[in-house]
Chains A and B, each alone.
Chain A
Amino acid sequence: NAGVTQTPKFQVLKTGQSMTLQCAQDMNHNSMYWYRQDPGMGLRLIYYSASEGTTDKGEVPNGYNVSRLNKREFSLRLESAAPSQTSVYFCASSEVTSGGKETQYFGPGTRLLVL
């Protein structure tokens, strides 16, 4: 049981390049999330997917697209990277516990540097 996995762990891009961050979970969770974390800013939600086949914007979606490929996988795409997208990106998935409450678990993160 690997939990939430992310690839790559680290990436350097030039301005204007594109890339896709991959995320997979093996916990059979319905909901998945992409966050970015910048110094002093906490975690900010980029996109989330409440279930397979659905995606919704979070607080900071501009410049990103997502795909919920199946229940396990949720990818984040940067079509034209900008220096402002230099950040640490975390994927998360959540489970509904007994009583209908929801708890979230994080992957190890991807450090992205855009030059």
Chain B
Amino acid sequence: QKEVEQNSGPLSVPEGAIASLNCTYSDRGSQSFFWYRQYSGKSPELIMFIYSNGDKEDGRFTAQLNKASQYVSLLIRDSQPSDSATYLCAVKGPTYNFNKFYFGSGTKLNVKP
């Protein structure tokens, strides 16, 4: 079983819509959760992090964490074509590997003009 699971997509949404990206993780001891955006041929760029249950908003992005369900999501409001990228979910702090980050394989998002 992989530590972090994501649907590979592609997820296609029209411009201006809400894009919803989901991620599940296997270790209940995980402490920190991250969303990275990666454009083709580029390095991952941190866009959100969340540590506590609930929602965290930053501009058009909202990260949601539900530790009981072991579920993290990223909502992108008013999606723009420039949001088209692969979104990586990362988890840190499984209880047996506290120093390590584990990444999902990413969800590709296409925002159509």
State which size class the interface on B falls in: 20 to 34
Cβ–Cβ contact A101 & B99, under 8 A = no
Which single residue of chain B is at the shortest CB-CB distance from A90? Answer: B43
B106 cross-chain contacts in A, Cβ below 8 A = 42
Contact of B14 with A by CB under 8 A: no
Number of A-B residue pairs with CB-CB distance less than 8 Å in the complex they form = 52
The stretch of A13-21, A66-74, A79-87, A102-110 in contact with B is: A102-110
Given contact pairs A42-B88, A90-B44, A101 touches B105 in the complex (Cβ within 8 A): no
Chain A residues touching B, majority SS = strand
Interface, chain B (partner A; CB < 8 A): 4, 8, 31-32, 34, 42-46, 49, 51, 88, 90, 92, 99-106
Residue positions of A touching B, CB distance < 8 A: 31, 33, 35, 40-45, 48, 50, 56, 58, 90, 94, 99, 101-109
